[in-house]
Amino acid sequence: MSEDKFIRKANTRYQSDIIVDLIKAYDFPAIPLNPGASYRGLHDSLVNYGEDDPPMILCNHEKLAVQIAHGYAKATGKPMPAIVHNVVGLLHAPLAVYYAYIDRCPVFLMGATGPMDEKLRRPFIDWIHTAFAQGSAIRDYTKWDYQPGTIHGVPDSFARAYSIMMTEPQGPVYMVYDAGLQEAELKDKIEIPPPDAVKVPPRLAADPKLIDTAADMLLAADYPILLTEYAARAPIGFDDTVELAETLGCGVFDINKRLGFPNKHPLSVSMHADAFRGADLVCALDVVDWTRGSHKPNWETRQVEAITTSDCKWIDIGFADIEISKWATDYNKHHNWDMRILSDTANAIPALTRACKEKISEDQELQKKIAQRTELISSKHNSQWSKWQDDVKKFWDHDPMHEARMAAEIWEVIKDEDWVLSAGTLKDWVRKVWDFDKPYRHPGRELGTATQFGMSLGVALAYKDSDKVVINLQPDGDLMFDLGGLWIAAKYEIPMLCLMYNNRAYYNDWAHQISVANKRGTDPDRAYIGMDLEGPAPDFAHIARGMDWWAEGPIMNPGDIQPAVREALKVVKSGKPALVDIITWRRGEAA
């Protein structure tokens, strides 16, 4: 459909124009949405009053709209709005909103209801689409929701929502706009926040006395470990953590909710089985999942065993119990910390580094101790890295293909590119093979089935106009939820190198059924029932081509991976999406 040569402007201003003014004032980059009549007033204002700037991104499902905003925020640190239609559109979105909440990502979710004025409601449809306290549907996993009663409440609540969303720990907010409010003529003068108004308060600073005490504890420890989860948030935290680790000569275990530490750095002990063995102090840097790495779970019995020493000291630097969920237990088991510092690590880590450096500079014995520890941990790191490369060789001829070989084959093609990995990590094999040397290489791991493709679209959108190559290692079960998302990438020419990690199953759950079977003595060979994606096996390359992607596959011969990925890479560099369907093994299959 061709655009009109001249944009027809309304002779009258409408109240929904004020919402557009605010969207522009807060410099949002784009607006993913699924259309709906409840916000037809706002939609017209976005198109004709706002001239589609920022541009709308039409999504096939509200979940995808929210996930695009989620992925964009993870990659850039900047928020994006998403719009959902009334009650029914909102009820498509909760999974995406929940994951944005527990992943601490700012999403400015907007919706509509009503008309609240009964005389304006059409029979049936407007009644079933009108809810009182509509935000209650997602209130347990948003930071705030609000429905202004009149246009006079719109600017104030919009500004407050933005501030709440962006204040750490960040998270989604939900603004509800009455359909009648949107469509009414604007008769009053409405002031919006001035450009120089403070949009977000400054980051929470650490108590200097507590920082000094923490420095003393770290320097007194023989084998301290830094545990990082959310300390690195684009574009902050990564380099600060490296500097602190090098100052202390201590190992760093990265949980990978964000890329918090370079995986090939000599002090990286991420994913090492014995990383915490012998640790006498753990310093958690903006951590929720404090048991990760430091505790060994038994998947069959669900029992958890500590790996650290029995008298290990624990320091918590972060947001403690601020914004703790009242609904889900994403806050993890309570820990009896030896010390807690309530602070944004963006302030606390540099302060801690400075305190440690001052004390180290005056103590030659301490300098020697740190040098020896650095050498010891570097040796452990190098040994583990060599073992992983030996494991790749061990699995090289596995048939069906092992994830280790798939990771290595792809790396040979992309290692000289300026690449970004969107979400999935091939069961962490790419972290054992690729070089994650820069903070933007990976916004952080996926969050569960039906999350990866939508978030990956947001990451790819973030780098659309750059020279970076966004790679999505895409599980098959996840994409089956979101096949319509392929159309979004094609329509808006979002370049993404989508490499299918296709084991033709919902294998994570399959593995759990194997664990249960082993524990109960039932037949683990029957664990595939209700899990496999065969009979028929989805032809993802065929589906992608039907959505105007370049695609190839299914590939079963590992030797065919590199040629296919090279061809796909050419397409992505031209500004369009490409998919390669790669078939891998399922644990339990014979070599």
H/E stretch holding 520? helix 507-520
Amino acid, single-letter form, for residue 549: W
Contact partners, residue 39, CB within 8 Å, separation at least 6: 16, 83, 85, 86, 110, 111, 112, 177, 179, 182
Q: Which of 140, 134, 43, 39 is nearest to 91 (CA)?
A: 134
Amino acid, single-letter form, for residue 246: E
CATH number of 208-381: 3.40.50.1220
State residue 2's pLDDT score: 45
Beta bridge partners of 304: 297
Q: Per-block average pLDDT, block size 10, for the chain (591 residues)?
A: 56 94 97 94 96 96 98 97 93 96 97 87 84 91 96 97 97 96 95 94 96 98 97 95 98 96 98 91 95 81 82 95 85 90 97 98 96 97 97 93 96 98 95 97 92 97 97 95 97 98 82 85 86 88 97 95 98 98 72 36
The full DSSP string for 430-452 is: HHHHS---SGGG------STTTH
Alpha-carbon distance of 158 to 143, in angstroms, equals 14
CATH H-level, domain 395-583: superfamily: Thiamin diphosphate (ThDP)-binding fold, Pyr/PP domains (3.40.50.970)
State residue 142's pLDDT score: 97
Residue with tokens 């933007």: 440
Alpha-carbon distance of 499 to 401, in angstroms, equals 14
List Cα–Cα distances, 118 to 252, 323, 565, in angstroms. Answer: 60, 37, 58
Check: CB of residue 252 under 8 Å from CB of residue 270.
yes
- What are the respective helix, strand and coil percentages of the chain, to the nearest 5? 40, 15, 45
Domain(s) of CATH 3.40.50.970: residues in the chain: 16-183, 395-583
Amino acid, single-letter form, for residue 320: A
State residue 507's pLDDT score: 76
CATH number of 16-183: 3.40.50.970
Domain(s) of CATH 3.40.50.1220: residues in the chain: 208-381
Check: CB of residue 280 under 8 Å from CB of residue 222.
yes
Tokens of 39: 């916000």
Alpha-carbon distance of 290 to 533, in angstroms, equals 35
Tokens of 115: 């008309």
∠ at Cα 69 (67, 75), nearest 5°?
A: 100
State residue 281's pLDDT score: 97
State residue 587's pLDDT score: 57
Amino acid, single-letter form, for residue 583: I
Q: Check the CA dihedral 291-325-65-460 and report its sign.
A: negative
H/E stretch holding 240? helix 238-248
pTM for the complete prediction?
0.94
Helix runs in 293-446, H state only = 345-361, 364-394, 403-414, 429-433
DSSP 31: E
